[in-house]
Amino acid sequence: MSPAILYSFRRCPYAMRARMALDVAEIELEHREILLKDKPPKMLEASPKGTVPVLVLSDGNVVDESLDVMLWALGRHDPEHWLARSEAAFTLIERNDGPFKHALDRYKYPNRYDGIDPAEHREIGLSILKDMNAQIGATGYLLGDQDSLADIATFPFVRQFAHTDRAWFDQQNLPNLHIWLDQHLNSPRFTRIMRKHPLWDYSGRSE
Ligand SMILES: N[C@@H](CCC(=O)N[C@@H](CS)C(=O)NCC(=O)O)C(=O)O
C-alpha cells in the first residue's frame, strides 16, 4: 500500500504539531514540502481550502485540520500516551488556536491589520503565557507529568511568539514556561520534524 502523503510547510506551527504526532506514531509518509504562495494543484484538489497540513491517506481520504491529523495519527499508535487527558487538552488547545493565535498574529504581523497596537496584543498573549507558566508549575507539563496533546499542539505557537522578540520574551518572568519551551525545542523529535526537505516538484515529473 502506498504511504500517506503529507503536504507541509516547514515553519507553519499547525504543520509542526501534525508532524510531531505523525512522528511519534511512526506513520510512514511521503512528505511534500510546499510554498504557501505557490500551492500545488494536487494539494488544492485534495483540500480546496488551501491550508497546511493536508494528509492524504492511502485510501484517498483527506485529513486537512492539524488537530484531526494529530488525532488520526495518535489513534493509530500513541506510544507516549499523548491522548491521555484529552478533554482538558482540548480546552487549552481552543485557547491557543483562538485568542492566543489572534494575539500572536497581531503582535507578529501588525502591518497586516488596520489600526492595531502590537504592544496591546503582546500583553494579551503574555497573560495567556502567564497562565500556562502557572499550569506547567512543578510538573513541567501542562497536564500531569508528561507530554500530552496540549503541550504538543501549543508549543509551536509559543515558539513563534517567543521568536518575535526573543530579548523581550527572555526578560519575562515565566520560568516554568521557558524551561518547557526549551525542552520541546531541543528535543530530538522536534529536531527531526524540522529537518529541511527539498520543495516538492509538482511540475509533472514527480507524479
Ligand atoms: N485550522 C487549520 C489552520 C492551518 C493554517 O492556517 N495553516 C496556515 C499556515 S501556518 C496556512 O496554510 N495558511 C494558508 C496560506 O497562508 O495561504 C489547521 O489547524 O490545520
Rounded mean pLDDT for each run of 10 residues along the chain, 207 residues in total = 94 98 98 97 98 98 98 98 95 98 98 97 98 96 97 98 98 98 98 98 65
Task: Yes or no: say if 36 and 168 are a contact pair by the CB < 8 Å rule.
Answer: no
Residue 88 has a CB neighbour count (10 Å cut-off) of 16
How far does the chain reach from its first CA to its final CA, in angstroms? Answer: 16
Can you give the CATH number for the domain in which 69 is found?
Answer: 3.40.30.10
Domain-terminating residue out of 22, 52, 80: 80
Domain membership flag for residue 195: no
Can you give the CATH number for the domain in which 109 is found?
Answer: 1.20.1050.10
Q: How distant is the alpha carbon of residue 48 from its chain centre? A: 21
Determine the distance separating the centroid of ligand 1 and the alpha carbon of 154, expressed in angstroms: 15
Q: Within this chain, do residues 62 and 105 fall inside the same structural domain, yes or no? A: no
Strand partners, 31: 6
Domain membership flag for residue 196: no
Q: Within this chain, do residues 102 and 170 fall inside the same structural domain, yes or no? A: yes
Domain-terminating residue out of 80, 104, 128: 80
- Does the global pTM surpass 0.85? yes
- The DSSP secondary-structure symbol of 110 reads G
CA-to-CA separations, 11 to 33, 193, 195, in angstroms, rounded: 11, 10, 11
Residue 205: the pLDDT is 45
> Is 65 touching ligand 1 by the criterion CB < 6 Å?
yes
Residue 204: the pLDDT is 59
Determine the distance separating the centroid of ligand 1 and the alpha carbon of 138, expressed in angstroms: 33
Amino acid residing at 37: K
Domain membership flag for residue 203: no
Closest ligand 1 atom to residue 69 Cα is 20
Determine the distance separating the centroid of ligand 1 and the alpha carbon of 205, expressed in angstroms: 27
Residue 129's domain comprises 86-189
Q: Within this chain, do residues 91 and 179 fall inside the same structural domain, yes or no? A: yes
The H-or-E segment that residue 107 falls in is helix 101-108
Angle between helical axes of 149-164 and 118-136 (0-180°, round to 10): 140
Number of domains forming the structure of the chain: 2
Task: Report the C-alpha gap between 74 and 132 in whole angstroms.
Answer: 24
Q: Within this chain, do residues 76 and 90 fall inside the same structural domain, yes or no? A: no
Nearest CA to ligand 1 atom 5: 51
Q: Within this chain, do residues 68 and 115 fall inside the same structural domain, yes or no? A: no
> Is 7 touching ligand 1 by the criterion CB < 6 Å?
no
**What b/e sequence results for 15-52 when a residue is b if at least 16 CB atoms lie within 10 Å of its CB, and e otherwise?**
bbbbbbbbbbbebebebbbbeeeebbebbeebbeeebb
> Is 14 touching ligand 1 by the criterion CB < 6 Å?
yes
Closest ligand 1 atom to residue 67 Cα is 19
Q: Are strands 54-56 and 62-63 parallel, antiparallel or unpaired?
A: antiparallel
> Is 52 touching ligand 1 by the criterion CB < 6 Å?
yes
Residue 138: the pLDDT is 81
Determine the distance separating the centroid of ligand 1 and the alpha carbon of 79, expressed in angstroms: 27
> Is 51 touching ligand 1 by the criterion CB < 6 Å?
yes
Task: From 118, 113, 201, 133, select the one nearest 165 (Cα to Cα).
Answer: 118
Residue 165: the pLDDT is 98
Q: Within this chain, do residues 50 and 25 fall inside the same structural domain, yes or no? A: yes
Determine the distance separating the centroid of ligand 1 and the alpha carbon of 52, expressed in angstroms: 5
> Is 96 touching ligand 1 by the criterion CB < 6 Å?
no
Residue 177: the pLDDT is 98
